[in-house]
A and B are shown apart, each in its own frame.
Chain A
Amino acid sequence: MNGVYALKIIKYFEVAKINYFNSLAYVINALSRSGVVVIRIWIFAQLYRITYAASGAEEIGGLTVAMVVWSLMMTQSFQSSGRPPVSEIIDEEVKSGALAYSINRPYSYILFHLSGYLGRSTSSLFINLLIGSAASLILVGPVKITLFGILFGAILMIFGRLLDFLISFIIGLAAFWIEDTTAIAWIYSKGQMVFGGIILPIALFPDYLQKIAEFLPFSQLFYSAARLIVSFDMELFHKFILIQFFWIAFFAALAYFIFKKGLKYVTINGG
């Protein structure tokens, strides 16, 4: 009889153990994600400290070391919250044929994915910013952030996200014509890395390159918002928002055109 009870206890113990390990997996994953963010900010803090020390300047391109680290933390947070990339999702829908069903549903295909992208990225954005801000505060101290900076920076961030969505959407739609769009997605992400202020703020670029980089779409994805938040400048806001509007109009028209063209390739089989 005692043996039966012992078996029952073991059974429930095993159930508890399975659930413990299941929940532990999520904790470990969340911790590892945060750990990587902290390490990246730590690297930036050390790299830019010695870089500024080597150049003997307190401020370069209007930014101090602390401002550089905070702006990189923000660009990295904005960028990483957009995962999984829209291009990957659209590419999969085109290749699997799921798109054929989606376009018949009573909603706009583009707006459906845009709202999905915004919803997905908002929750992780707050977590990334929270962990990133705590790490930046400990590693380089605070920076003076104004209410105007946050307000106008948030406007640039929202339009930047829209721009990122449009470009990613176009890359995904390329699956209508090519077998695999991952190579284009890599090039896009590298464009962000070089000209998007993800590792090196554009304010620290040599002058001739700074002017070019500011007019490219990559700098308007995440950098422009981060730059404005750490050091508010109304003139800069006007400049950035105009560049953003230009690229949004350009890529929206391109996305619409490619989507319409791609739809001609969709075949729906009944049965």
Chain B
Amino acid sequence: MSQLMADKIQKDTSLGTYLSLTWEMVKMNVLSAMEYRVSFAMQVIGMIINDIGLVALWFIFFEKFPEIRGWTFRDTAALFAITTAQFSIVMILANGSFRMARMIANGEIDNFLSLPKNVLWQISLSKTEVSAFGDLLFGLVIYFFSGNLSFESFGLFILLSVITAVIFFNFIVITQSIAFFTGNFEEAAVQLFHALLGFTLYPQTAFFGILKIITLTILPAFFIAALPVEIFRNFNIFSLSLMIGFAAITFFIAIFVFKKGLRRYESGNLINIKI
């Protein structure tokens, strides 16, 4: 009977199954991290203090310079609310994707190839960054400093965080998958990740000229930072569609690059048991 159930789960590729399995896997990752309670609490609290530090920096900046090309502290609050929420969604649900280049170089993808579900989904969910819960809490709190406090704007904030999380995830998958083609790309992928994150720290009106073109293309900070804040301030369906469209296109590119790369993957011949 249990074999039949296992077969059924294995064959069931519906969205519902994936969602419930996602929930179970994240729960398992969090419960195992919570075995070390002090460490868990310290990471979450440490991350909140870390994020408060970032806001403090910009609070000081805007004390001295209240407006930078129309950008004020409230815009920075909205920016940090969306980016920390978006970052935490990726780090809670898909932190494994961030370690993919290392797994490829070490031949550790083997662990996921024999599992019944989608390989990218398995890799992504294999790790949960517990400190990201601190980011999530911080994102929700800093939202209240953004100036838009209606029920609708809260819904919009959640929606924008989810869409930008998808774009952020796609970027990680694409950059980490380059390791399939070049072998060792771990450090470069991490640097690209930090370069993208770096853009999300600053007033978005500071980017113009070639730097703006970079944020629209190879390091798509415009779509995960500037555009969502603009939509959050002045909602318009065209900008939202543009963002969703960008998320969809990059998602297909990420899947394409990953699949193409996976075909080139060479096993590490690792004989070990992953529990």
| Cα–Cα distance between A185 and B2 once the two chains are bound (Å) | 48
Q: Are A24 and B182 in contact (CB under 8 A)?
A: yes
The answer, yes or no, to whether B57 is at the interface (CB within 8 Å) is: yes
User: Which residues of chain B come closer than 8 Å to A200, judged between CB atoms?
Assistant: 57, 60-61
Name the interface size band of chain B.
35 or more
Q: Are A25 and B184 in contact (CB under 8 A)?
A: yes
| Cα–Cα distance between A39 and B208 once the two chains are bound (Å) | 13
The answer, yes or no, to whether A179 is at the interface (CB within 8 Å) is: yes
Binary flags per residue of B41-64, CB closer than 8 Å to A gives 1, else 0: 011011101100110110011011
Q: Are A43 and B202 in contact (CB under 8 A)?
A: yes
Q: Nearest-CB distance from A54 to chain B (Å)? A: 6
The answer, yes or no, to whether B36 is at the interface (CB within 8 Å) is: yes
User: Which residues of chain B come closer than 8 Å to A55, judged between CB atoms?
Assistant: 65
User: Which residues of chain A come closer than 8 Å to B53, judged between CB atoms?
Assistant: 187, 190-191, 193-194
The answer, yes or no, to whether B31 is at the interface (CB within 8 Å) is: no
Q: Are A54 and B38 in contact (CB under 8 A)?
A: no
Which residue of chain B lies nearest to A189 when distances are taken between CB atoms in the complex? B50
| Cα–Cα distance between A224 and B183 once the two chains are bound (Å) | 42
User: Which residues of chain A come closer than 8 Å to B205, judged between CB atoms?
Assistant: 50
The answer, yes or no, to whether A36 is at the interface (CB within 8 Å) is: yes
Within 8 A of B (CB), among A12-63: 21-22, 24-25, 28-29, 31-33, 35-36, 39-40, 42-43, 46-47, 50-51, 54-55
The answer, yes or no, to whether A4 is at the interface (CB within 8 Å) is: no
Q: Are A194 and B185 in contact (CB under 8 A)?
A: no
A54-B65 contact, Cβ under 8 Å, with A32-B192, A179-B36? yes
Q: Nearest-CB distance from A101 to chain B (Å)? A: 25
Q: Are A40 and B54 in contact (CB under 8 A)?
A: no
Q: Are B39 and A205 in contact (CB under 8 A)?
A: no
Q: Are A204 and B64 in contact (CB under 8 A)?
A: yes
The answer, yes or no, to whether B143 is at the interface (CB within 8 Å) is: no
The answer, yes or no, to whether A206 is at the interface (CB within 8 Å) is: yes
User: Which residues of chain A come closer than 8 Å to B208, judged between CB atoms?
Assistant: 46
Q: Nearest-CB distance from A132 to chain B (Å)? A: 15
| Cα–Cα distance between A168 and B57 once the two chains are bound (Å) | 22
The answer, yes or no, to whether B207 is at the interface (CB within 8 Å) is: yes
Which residue of chain A lies nearest to B203 when distances are taken between CB atoms in the complex? A47
| Cα–Cα distance between A190 and B131 once the two chains are bound (Å) | 15
A178-B69 contact, Cβ under 8 Å, with A25-B185, A46-B207, A184-B46? no
| Interface residue stretch chosen among B17-25, B78-86, B118-126, B193-201 | B193-201
User: Which residues of chain A come closer than 8 Å to B67, judged between CB atoms?
Assistant: 54
Interface size for A (C-beta < 8 A) is 40
The answer, yes or no, to whether B10 is at the interface (CB within 8 Å) is: no
Q: Are A39 and B47 in contact (CB under 8 A)?
A: no
Which residue of chain B lies nearest to A202 when distances are taken between CB atoms in the complex? B60
The answer, yes or no, to whether A92 is at the interface (CB within 8 Å) is: no
Q: Are B201 and A199 in contact (CB under 8 A)?
A: yes
Q: Nearest-CB distance from A84 to chain B (Å)? A: 12
Q: Are A186 and B46 in contact (CB under 8 A)?
A: yes
The answer, yes or no, to whether B12 is at the interface (CB within 8 Å) is: no
Contact of B211 among A28, A46, A180, A183 (CB under 8 A): A46
The answer, yes or no, to whether B206 is at the interface (CB within 8 Å) is: yes
Which residue of chain A lies nearest to B219 when distances are taken between CB atoms in the complex? A39
The answer, yes or no, to whether A182 is at the interface (CB within 8 Å) is: yes
Interface residues of A (CB under 8 A from B): 21-22, 24-25, 28-29, 31-33, 35-36, 39-40, 42-43, 46-47, 50-51, 54-55, 178-180, 182-184, 186-187, 189-191, 193-194, 199-200, 204-206, 209
A-B CB proximity, top 4 nearest: A183-B46, A190-B53, A25-B184, A32-B191
